[in-house]
Amino acid sequence: MRFDIRRFFDEFILYSSQFFVFFILMLLITPATDALRPAALVIVVLFLIIQIALLVGQGQKPILRFLFSFITPAAYTMVRTLGGDPIPFDMATVFIWGAALYVGLFQALALSPKGAWTRRAAETFLAIGAVFVFMFFYFYLDLRLGLAKRLSSGEFSQAQYAKALGFKSFGRSFAQFLKTPQNGFLAFGLATFGVMLLASKVTVLGLRSRIAGLFGEARVNDKAVQPEPAMNQAATVTVISSDIRDFTSLADKLGPERSVAMLNRYYSLWSVAADRHGGRIAGTTGDSVLLVFGLLGEKDAAEQALACARDFAAELPGLRDDMQSASLPAPAEVSIGLHCGNIVAGDLGPVGARRLGVFGEAVSVAARLDSLCREFKQEMLLSQSVFRQLELESQARLVRIGEVLLRNSTQPVPVYGTK
């Protein structure tokens, strides 16, 4: 399996181990007499790296994610015990074991197949827990620095220092921590941040659920919220053509069931983006998707098409991560071509099974730009006809890539990509 450095650091910083990072940094910056020795600290960091590697590789399985979450706490407890300490029951040990239990449990529930509400509740508790974990570790850092200063000045004995860091002293010490104005303000700020984080998480979960269940419903939703264009008509529109690079070879390796699962999620993401910006999915063939903007004569069709393509590109990495977490294959690279031109729209197909279809010059050119993305090493290519219809702000975010000979053109014309 190919090592994905981006997923490794996402796991390391965002998903499961940020509190270990806080704790290790805390041990480095506090001059307390009970800090871990360099060799012991290196061992803890190595076990943390092992834990992250295992979570990246096997963390999509709920039971393994839960069990792997305890690797670093176990390593910390082991080096403390082997270093001559009795089995530690101080605040630091309780905090890292408690945080590992909390995060591991709710992440496992978020991956479980027991239902959408279970997963949503687990994600909600994870968002709330992140705030409390940070607050408790900040409190411990503040307490540890204060006690170390008193210990070095002779105000505290080593026994008193150890007792003050014991878990039995947590309630009294935390109450004193909150009494100071700056710490009270910090608690208020973290609570506000927690509410904002929770609101953002609810939005993401709603979008994720919509993506998961949308395929097969997008056509119905389109008819419900958009007036139908007159059939069998010519129109000037903006067309997006998109496909997954090397899909055929990928499908051969994945097999029918996993290939279909990947395509359905891919279609669904395009459906969400198109619905958001007033576009229509006019066709899906294998891994190719065709979208049309401006069928009703909208003046900003090019702007909406570009915004749709940007939204899809922005959501694609998250979709890859979600699919990998669910043990589903994910599209590696996607090509997108945009062109403005003439098409014919009509009800195509046999009697009783007709649906909206489009064909014409704009479709062919968009597909040509789509296929040229690999040659130009671009994720997205736009024709000059689209570029001219964009606002200056949108044009400023694009760069001229080169010139190509397109259909019905007698000389090469410029094409544009994103900066």
Do 149 and 198 lie in a common domain?
A: yes
Asked whether the predicted pLDDT for residue 213 surpasses 60, the reply is: no
Check if the beta carbon of residue 11 is closer than 8 Å to that of residue 55: yes
| CA gap 175, 217 in Å, rounded | 53
Mean pLDDT across 322-346 = 79
Domain boundary at 180, 213, 246, which? 213
- For the chain, the average pLDDT equals 78
Domain total of the chain:
2
Do 54 and 180 lie in a common domain?
A: yes
Range of the domain at 9: 5-213
pLDDT digits (tens, 9 = 90+) for 12-33: 665 555 666 667 766 666 655 5
CB-based burial, 328-339: b 16+ in 10 Å, e otherwise: bbbbeebbbbbb
| CA gap 18, 14 in Å, rounded | 6
Q: What is residue 189's predicted lDDT score, i.e. its pLDDT?
A: 73
Do 181 and 247 lie in a common domain?
A: no
Do 170 and 286 lie in a common domain?
A: no
18-29 and 116-152 helices, crossing angle to 10°: 0
Mean pLDDT across 287-307 = 90
* Least trusted range by pLDDT, from 66-75, 154-163, 198-207, 223-232: 223-232
pLDDT digits (tens, 9 = 90+) for 99-138: 888 888 888 887 766 666 776 777 778 777 777 777 887 7
pLDDT digits (tens, 9 = 90+) for 233-262: 678 899 999 998 888 877 777 788 878 888
Q: What is residue 136's predicted lDDT score, i.e. its pLDDT?
A: 81
In a domain, 222, yes or no: no
| CA gap 373, 208 in Å, rounded | 28
Do 59 and 107 lie in a common domain?
A: yes
Beta bridge partners of 263: none
Q: Is the dihedral of CA 121, 122, 124, 128 positive or negative?
A: positive
More confident position, 5 or 345: 345
Do 83 and 159 lie in a common domain?
A: yes
Global pTM? 0.48
pLDDT digits (tens, 9 = 90+) for 51-109: 888 887 777 788 888 898 888 888 888 887 887 665 567 787 888 888 888 888 888 88
Q: pLDDT tier at 221 (50, 70, 90 boundaries)?
A: very low
